[in-house]
Structure 1
Amino acid sequence: MLCEAVFRTEDLPGADRFDFWRERIGRTHAPLDLHSEHAADYRGHQRVLNLGAVHMWPATHQSLTFRRTPRLIRQSDPESFHIGIPLNGNNRVAFDDQRALYGAYDIQLFDSSRAFEVTCSNGADLFQGIGIEVPKAILHLPQHTMDRLFAQAICGKDGMGALLVQFVTRLAADTSCYQPCDGPRLGTVLVDLLSALFAHTLDADRVLPPETRTRALVHRIRDHVQRNLHDPQLTPTSIAAAHHISTSYLHRLFRDEDETVAAWVRRQRLERACRDLADPAMCATPIHAIAARWGFTRAADFTRAFRGAYGVPPKDFRRQALHPRS
């Protein structure tokens, strides 16, 4: 599991909870003035995932207003960007005499060197969102360019924005498959996705380093594959066409990987089929239907590929998974 810290106000007496929350948020982001109508008995839960130089914090809490003021900026400035993504609820933002209301999956960027005010709320329910802290120095865009994005909303429901939201929500949902040493690598992926998203929004892709553009493209390709494993026409040729690159360039992108593009696609399909065969809820689903669900149109091809990967035919694997004693 990744290195992470967990904070719950419920672990403290009611009178101490909001002060505790103020301290934790200040350490996670930067010194802030916090206010809430629920301060007398505040409910909040935060996880901080350590991704090397980057920190990501999924949080669930009652309505809250936080301010980054000129006084606090003079007091301490970590020279970082904060990316806020509401998942349930909205952010009401005030900055430079402007006001805006942003809803779920609107991606917003804030600068620790500039004053702003944000109110997070979700009516009578708890607000839920994800914050990301990134040192300015490691984003691949100049400061004067990033100023154009300050406190603006980028749609996280389609395109590059959706790719970013999918990455962070999947990571926040389950870190059990990662080791602490994976944190910096995941941080690099996250920085590449953020850089690519911001550059695309600003029409400034040309300023990104070539390696950043390449890594972001590989991540888009992997995401495309994951979402289309059911399609029997998902081949290196169709993958390349969907990303407007040649098939030979696609193979070059995967040259440093442990397997070819086609082998990786086949392994992804087999892993999904393996999961379904071991799922008691799908015990009545015919094996050929599970195979077709993951892009195998010929049962014989699926059986041969499955036996090659797992050493037993799908039927035997299912029996052993569902009835281990027998």
Structure 2
Amino acid sequence: MAPLPPVAFATESVLAWQRVISSSFVPLTVDDLSDGRFAGTIRGRVLDDVFFARLRVTPHEVHRTRALIDASQRLFYKVTLMLEGTGELVQDTRRALMLPGSVSVYDTARPYDLRFADPIDAVVVMFPRDLVDPSPDHVRAITATSLGPEEALTRLVAPLLTEIAHDFTALEGPASTRVVRTAVELISALLSTAALARTDDHDREHLSLMLRIREYILDNLGDSELNPEGIARAVFISTRHLHALFHQQGTTVSAWIREQRLEAIRRDLADPLHAHRPISEIATTWGYPDASHFSRTFRQQTGVAPSAYRRAALEEARRGGGDQRVSTG
């Protein structure tokens, strides 16, 4: 996701609302259900490619049609926590009733429809699909389902998202990247648990194995000798099977390890609490003991040198990013 400025927007125009949510999230169309008395407000912050937003809107419909989906776009999940009002989500031939206190997930790579017959107050979180553990096929099993307070992890996720979206101050200051990481990890745990409960025995075994593999990799990212053979031994499968599992998800073991290491390094470089640490020390912590190799890899993946990335990220953290006021339309 390209960096987005903080959002603060209010309007009584359906077209203006459509423009701002399309630019803040992904391209969408909006239909008014309020008999011409439409009103909507959105406040939001983006940090570490994760967009948190609080929306208060009169009755309306939202559509993500196939024509609006560009295959070249980065792929995202959206999670909605309903605070007030009710809604209906349709995706993958399923229909979910969105009730206060419930969490619903949908995939921006496929069409979906949202209908809100009542005024709503909701928290929406959008994040890249590769930030969570379940594969797209496993998440597909829980799109357009309602994960209510009866789910233990919903009871953990809901208060955190509510607090973050209250005034977004949790996304400011030196601990902001850790807050985002915690939120995404809890959402990932919720999606994994829900997917495990809603898949058949074969898929459940497959997902459980992938979660064990990813957990092992994440626990050992700092080991520069981490390799497919050692990972396969640790989870009691063949190296060939391990490679096949990652191939099914459109990646390789080595590529996924590299992505996770670089993501961890980017987090630490952007974290003011780590500003005193040399870049080489951070790289070594996450499995890159060779400074020149790390620098080349980082530049290839991000387009900038590690030092330039750190300067820009820490400057952004210092600015704190007050709300950008958008004129009402």
Paired residue secondary structure (2:100): coil
Q: Within 5 A, what are the aligned runs for 1:1-326?
A: 4-9=6-11, 14=12, 17-38=13-34, 40-74=36-70, 77-122=73-118, 126-156=119-149, 158-176=151-169, 179-203=172-196, 204=207, 207-208=210-211, 209-210=214-215
TM-score, normalised by the number of residues in structure 1? 0.56
CA deviation string 1:87-115 (max 9, x = no partner): 11111123344433221122111111111
Paired residue secondary structure (2:68): helix
Paired residue secondary structure (1:81): strand
Q: What is the distance in 2 between the residues matched to 1:212 and 1:146? A: 21
AA aligned opposite 2:180: G
Instruction: Decide whether the 8 Å contact of 1:34 with 1:64 is kept in 2.
Output: yes
Greater relative contact order, per chain length (Cα 8 Å cut-off, separation 6+): 2
**Percent identity among equivalent residues?**
18
Instruction: Decide whether the 8 Å contact of 1:93 with 1:116 is kept in 2.
Output: yes
Q: What is the distance in 2 between the residues matched to 1:96 and 1:158? A: 22
Larger radius of gyration: 1
Question: Where does structure 1 lack aligned partners over 5 or more consecutive residues?
Answer: 215-326
Q: What is the distance in 2 between the residues matched to 1:211 and 1:190? A: 21
Change (3 A) 1:194 1:213: farther
User: 1:131, CA displacement in angstroms?
Assistant: 0.5
Paired residue secondary structure (1:202): helix
TM-score, normalised by the number of residues in structure 2? 0.56
Paired residue secondary structure (2:82): strand
Paired residue secondary structure (2:169): coil
The number of residue pairs the alignment matches comes to: 204
Instruction: Decide whether the 8 Å contact of 1:108 with 1:154 is kept in 2.
Output: yes
Q: What is the distance in 1 between the residues matched to 2:151 and 2:169? A: 27
Q: What is the distance in 1 between the residues matched to 2:78 and 2:93? A: 20
Q: What is the distance in 2 between the residues matched to 1:44 and 1:157? A: 30
Paired residue secondary structure (1:113): coil
The alignment yields a C-alpha RMSD, in angstroms, of 2.7
